[in-house]
Amino acid sequence: MEIRLNYEGSAEALDTLRHSSAHLMAHAVLELFPGTQTGVGPAVEDGFFYDFLRDKPFVPEDLEAIEKKMRQIAQEDIPIQKVVCSKEEALRLFQERGQELKVELIEEKGDKEVTVYKQGSFVDFCLGPHVPSTGHIKHFKLLSVSGAYWKGDEKGKQLQRIYGTSFFKKKDLDAYLTLIEEAKKRDHRKLGAELDLFSFNENLGAGLVLWHPKGATIRHVIENYWWEEHIKDGYDFLYTPHLAKLDVWRKSGHTEFYDAMYPPILSEGIEYEIRPMNCPFHVMVYNSRQRSYRDLPLRWAEMGTVYRYERSGVLHGLLRVRGFTQDDAHIFCRADQLEDEIKKVILLALRLLNTFGFKDYDVFLSTCPEKHVGKLEDWDKATQALEKALKQTGLEFRVDEGEGVFYGPKIDIKVKDALNRSWQCTTIQLDFNLAERFQLHYVGEDGKFHSPFLIHRAIFGSLERFFGILIEQYKGNFPFWIAPVQVIIIPISDRHNDYASTLDKKFKENGLRSQVDIRREKVGYKVRDAEIHKIPTLLIVGDKEVTRGTASLRVHTIGDRGEIIIDEFLEKLKEMGKNKSLTVNL
């Protein structure tokens, strides 16, 4: 018998506790709802889930009853026993219990000997490990229920997935539940509707974003900054089509390796494919003429919209969509330029992400997997260049051995937000697949053909996803330089409208995004409405302000700041915009 000790403070111990919590939940479900079939119940990053097959959907009252039953079973401190039996015995055991999903799993995954875990009347086909008894599971909470497909196949059985979490200490559970409540307040889907930033429409199609004027304004600000910084770093820009002949995607390997493509479109007897990626187009531009070693490096960037089929069950606001715009770029360089180019990309990424307020990162370097394309010596050169560049920038990183994709090693930079959640943004990826398939080359100093290194990189990842992250990072209280409306002017009565309009014109002429609220509503209502829409600065103008050429200032989340001189105020706003200040300093 193998004995393995997991200590309470370790990640392995927490996984074990959560896996056992999933079993506890399934045990409770079967006692409360006999005849329910059980699917799989793993530990996940922040807790656990278990999939169930039953005709009647679970409702919130059911989750309350399940959690109550879990506590009862936990208090009974039932021993959790590992049992090794033959595959035939395991099949018979679960057939007798009517657990057809488990029978299917055992038939597919079971060896000659199979392990099952028992706790009282509950039995599960499982590799373990588990806590010694149910009494070790004390601090847990069921969170939600959603739909799931059996084995992830949308053509398979529709199951119900109950999510929960558990911890060793009550204070850790309480802290996590507080975090969840704060995350709900920051949910970009809720704030996106409240602030009139974007929407989805089922008549248009799931996962396709409609950018409203305010959201589009923020997108424009982001794109402008992105362009400016890329120009500084020596990039040129491309525009490429949204579809191409299916043969292009066959040549690139996407039809063979990529399963998120939409069905081809037939036109005049020719099959076309809407693009899931921008890469082949940039490669074709490279191959449009002969290149010399003197031409390299070539840095080409594009805000390229792509379309990928995602199952409806995994779509999630702006974070998981079917149509999105990548801040894409491809760099073609020589071997002796590789390290410097990667370093430049890392520094550019940090500069951009820092400007939006992201200072903490999780960084990963993924190396050569067992199955790969390209020469091993090129993999080694590329991996060493990635590692050296990371070290030179001073970033702490973790090496994921063998976790690179088949066509090249990569760096992933995940930003940590205000709730310390980690979000995938920047990817810096070497690509030996396209370089080989499209036979990329340049004429070297020796007059011979050489293959360039191809670096694929995106910094924000996608504008839609990055926008969703920004909304949640700031809870909709965007920094002044990003805010869609930076100043709103509220005249106290109609006779102050002309003065308010004059101020509005002055602000706009100086590059600020301002509005005048001339609705026939009370001033208090207008002020509250401006606060709800999280407008950074608010100016109120009446008789006194018109006479003096001033305004009364209110700053969002801070309150009244008193009377201000317009020209001085204007200069401060311009300075905040120029410096891309994350806070309003007035």
- What are the catalytic residues? 279, 308, 326, 328, 330, 410, 456
Three state DSSP letters for 501-531: HHHHHHHHHCCCCEEECCCCCCHHHHHHHHH
How does 47-76 read in b/e, with b if 16+ C-beta sit within 10 Å?
bbbbbbbeeeebeeebbebbbebbeebbee
The DSSP secondary-structure symbol of 371 reads: S
134 close to 18: Cβ distance less than 8 angstroms: no
358 close to 414: Cβ distance less than 8 angstroms: no
436 close to 326: Cβ distance less than 8 angstroms: no
570 close to 510: Cβ distance less than 8 angstroms: yes
Contacts of 214 (CB under 8 A, 6+ apart): 195, 196, 197, 484, 485
125 close to 102: Cβ distance less than 8 angstroms: yes
- CA dist., res. 395 & res. 415, Å (int): 13
- CA dist., res. 436 & res. 478, Å (int): 44
Residue with tokens 């490096």: 297
Q: Which of 82, 69, 184 is nearest to 130 (CA)?
A: 82
Q: Is 240 left (phi over 0), alpha (psi -120 to 50) or beta?
A: beta
The helix or strand, by DSSP H or E, that contains position 468, with its residue range, turns out to be helix 463-474
148, two tokens: 């799931």
Q: Which long-range contacts (CB under 8 A, 24 or more apart) does 13-16 make?
A: 13/168, 14/43, 14/167, 14/168, 15/43, 16/43, 16/129, 16/130, 16/131
82, two tokens: 């590992």
**Dihedrals φ, ψ of 127, to 5°?**
-85, -15
- CA dist., res. 310 & res. 320, Å (int): 8
CB neighbourhood size of 80 (10 A): 23
203, two tokens: 């008549």
Contacts of 78 (CB under 8 A, 6+ apart): 119, 120, 133, 134, 135
Q: What sign for the dihedral angle of Cα 314, 317, 318, 321?
A: positive
